[in-house]
Amino acid sequence: MSDKQLSGILIMLVPQIIKEIIDNEKLSEDEATEALYGSELYAALEDEKTKLWHLSAKALYELYRQEKQLGKIDFPEEA
């Protein structure tokens, strides 16, 4: 997958993840956006090799939540 294709997917996926954060964490849009972009999850999502873009926004939110609670992410094998 090219960088351009991955960028296109992220443009659609990131707002959905941010909405999950807003709805579940009760953060403002700015706070949720900053939290996601500063996360290990987002860095991994930007790396095409992780294949995390295959996962749903809800599944990615659960990985985000895991990172916040445990300080690390256990990446699923299917990603």
Helices (H) and strands (E) counted in the chain, each on its own, are 4, 0
pLDDT single digits (tens) 19-32: 999 999 999 999 99
CB proximity list for 72: less than 8 A, separation 6 or greater: 40, 66
pLDDT single digits (tens) 49-72: 999 999 999 999 999 999 999 999
| pLDDT value, residue 22 | 97
| pLDDT value, residue 79 | 53
| pLDDT value, residue 6 | 82
